[in-house]
């Protein structure tokens, strides 16, 4: 498995957090692994302040992974600009795998793990009352999104949407193991992809279908957020219908910090949640949003202590599972403009590809390495 701590870069976000160490069925259908009961236990704190203090290092690692994960280390400006000239077909051939190719890769080990069993990056849990839990399971990598995890999440979302449409699932809980909810793009994988020239198109080919699959689940979806959610991890949380957050949780975009823009539909779901003006403020200033502030902004449904998160999540899930599911399904169709989010995600993908080749993004990379503030020129 990829690990976050392999690159020692210090982001401006981490410095602002006290100078501590940074630490729908059209795509892949890899196996989703069903196990018995697997519950994400958070460490039992009785005070919000203690929880926040203990998770500071984890928030820094999540922010670093999400921001630095977009970095093309070692690429010159000329090399990056040369990539602009590639036709759409050429870029698609370099990055976008066909459905057949992805299905052929089902069950294969992660890179560097030949001969070993593929990692179980997503765990599904069923209950008798129609509640399905989908657990992101890469805790040692802060649940950062690598190819395998994205593929398994895609499969879980598509399968769950199908099962819900057939009446087998009435409520879905999206949660994560370990201290972080999701750190966004996996750093080690992204660096390798940038160096090999295969990173362009990842948002369009991987993240957009994954977000669309999550949005296609017809029944209520609850995000149970026990720790930091950054980048695409924040996008996944916002694509859910309810968000219950531990006091140890937080949101962070980390996009504009490196000259990029939002992905995973966040530019649309954030506007739906807080309005255009506030969404622009959040995305442009790109500051960390604590659980307390998220509650005030209306970004989350409820905020609870870490030890109470599992109980609060299950209480809401059980209430919804006992409700009029057919009514909930129709209400979601009327309220959530999925087409708008998917359209926004498509625009995000094209924007992200272009911004990844700008001088400002290159300057942001150098600024990270030099541990200084970037000097953006606007091009």
**What CATH number did the domain enclosing 75 receive?**
3.90.226.10
Instruction: Please give the pLDDT value at position 136.
Output: 97
User: Domain for residue 37, yes or no?
Assistant: no
Confidence band for 117, pLDDT divided at 50, 70 and 90: low
User: Domain for residue 2, yes or no?
Assistant: no
pLDDT per position as a tens digit, 192-239:
887 888 878 888 899 999 999 999 999 999 999 999 999 999 999 999
Pairwise CA distance, residues 137 & 139, whole Å = 6
Most confident of 39-43, 319-323, 340-344, 367-371: 319-323
Q: What is the DSSP letter of 38?
A: -
Mean pLDDT check: name the lowest of 3-7, 155-159, 275-279: 3-7
Instruction: Please give the pLDDT value at position 196.
Output: 86
User: Domain for residue 221, yes or no?
Assistant: yes
Q: How far apart are the first and last CA of the chain?
A: 36
User: Domain for residue 32, yes or no?
Assistant: no
Instruction: Please give the pLDDT value at position 289.
Output: 98
- List the beta bridge partners of residue 243: 223
User: Domain for residue 286, yes or no?
Assistant: yes
Look-up of token digits 């895609």: 154
Instruction: Please give the pLDDT value at position 59.
Output: 54
Pairwise CA distance, residues 216 & 239, whole Å = 10
Instruction: Please give the pLDDT value at position 61.
Output: 56
Per the CB < 8 A criterion, the answer to whether 67 and 260 are in contact is no
User: How many other CB atoms are there within 10 angstroms of residue 197's CB atom?
Assistant: 17
Instruction: Please give the pLDDT value at position 177.
Output: 97
Instruction: Please give the pLDDT value at position 123.
Output: 93
| Overall average pLDDT of the 262-267 stretch | 91
Which among 186, 178, 259, 147 is positioned nearest to 6, based on CA atoms?
Answer: 186
User: Domain for residue 38, yes or no?
Assistant: no
Pairwise CA distance, residues 164 & 270, whole Å = 26
Instruction: Please give the pLDDT value at position 191.
Output: 78
Q: pLDDT at residue 20 above 60? A: no
Instruction: Please give the pLDDT value at position 248.
Output: 98
Where on the phi/psi map is residue 144: left (φ > 0), alpha (ψ -120 to 50), or beta?
A: beta
| Overall average pLDDT of the 261-278 stretch | 92
Pairwise CA distance, residues 217 & 132, whole Å = 12
Mean pLDDT check: name the lowest of 2-6, 146-150, 158-162, 286-290: 2-6
User: Domain for residue 27, yes or no?
Assistant: no
Full domain range(s) for residue 221: 7-22+51-370
Angle of CA points 114, 75, 233, to nearest 5°: 60
Angle of CA points 205, 176, 47, to nearest 5°: 140
Q: pLDDT at residue 92 above 70? A: no
**Domain count along the chain:** 1
Confidence band for 18, pLDDT divided at 50, 70 and 90: very low
User: Domain for residue 35, yes or no?
Assistant: no
Q: pLDDT at residue 325 above 50? A: yes
């Amino acid at each position: 498995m990829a690990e976050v701590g392999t690159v020692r870069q210090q982001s401006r976000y981490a410095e602002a957090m006290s100078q501590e160490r940074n630490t729908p069925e059209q795509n892949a259908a890899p196996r989703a692994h069903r196990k018995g009961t697997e519950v994400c236990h958070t460490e039992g704190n009785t005070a919000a302040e203690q929880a926040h203090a203990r998770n500071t290092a984890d928030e820094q690692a999540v922010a670093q992974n999400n921001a630095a994960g977009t970095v093309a280390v070692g690429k010159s400006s000329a090399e990056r600009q040369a990539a602009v000239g590639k036709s759409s077909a050429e870029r698609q051939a370099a990055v976008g795998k066909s459905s057949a190719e992805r299905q052929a890769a089902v069950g294969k080990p992660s890179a560097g793990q030949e001969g070993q069993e593929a990692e179980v990056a997503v765990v599904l849990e069923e209950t008798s009352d129609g509640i399905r839990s989908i657990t992101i399971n890469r805790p040692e990598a802060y649940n950062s999104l690598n190819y395998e995890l994205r593929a398994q999440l895609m499969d879980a979302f598509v399968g769950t949407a199908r099962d819900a449409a057939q009446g087998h699932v009435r409520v879905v809980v999206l949660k994560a193991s370990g201290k972080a909810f999701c750190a966004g793009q996996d750093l080690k994988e992204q660096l390798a992809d940038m160096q090999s020239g295969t990173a362009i198109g990842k948002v369009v080919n991987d993240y957009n279908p994954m977000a669309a699959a999550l949005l296609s689940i017809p029944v209520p979806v609850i995000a149970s957020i026990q720790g930091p959610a950054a980048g695409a991890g924040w996008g996944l949380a916002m694509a859910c219908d309810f968000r219950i957050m531990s006091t140890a949780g937080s949101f962070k975009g980390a996009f504009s910090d490196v000259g990029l823009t939002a992905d995973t539909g966040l530019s649309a779901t954030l506007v739906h949640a807080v309005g255009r003006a506030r969404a622009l403020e959040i995305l442009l200033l790109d500051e960390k949003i604590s659980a307390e502030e998220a509650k005030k902004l209306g970004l989350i449904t409820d905020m609870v202590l870490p030890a109470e998160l599992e109980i609060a999540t299950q209480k809401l899930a059980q209430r919804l599972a006992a409700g009029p599911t057919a009514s909930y399904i129709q209400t979601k169709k009327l309220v959530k403009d999925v087409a708008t989010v998917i359209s926004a995600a498509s625009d995000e993908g094209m924007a992200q590809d272009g911004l990844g080749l700008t001088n400002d993004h290159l300057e942001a990379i150098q600024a990270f390495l030099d541990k200084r503030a970037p000097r953006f020129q606007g091009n």
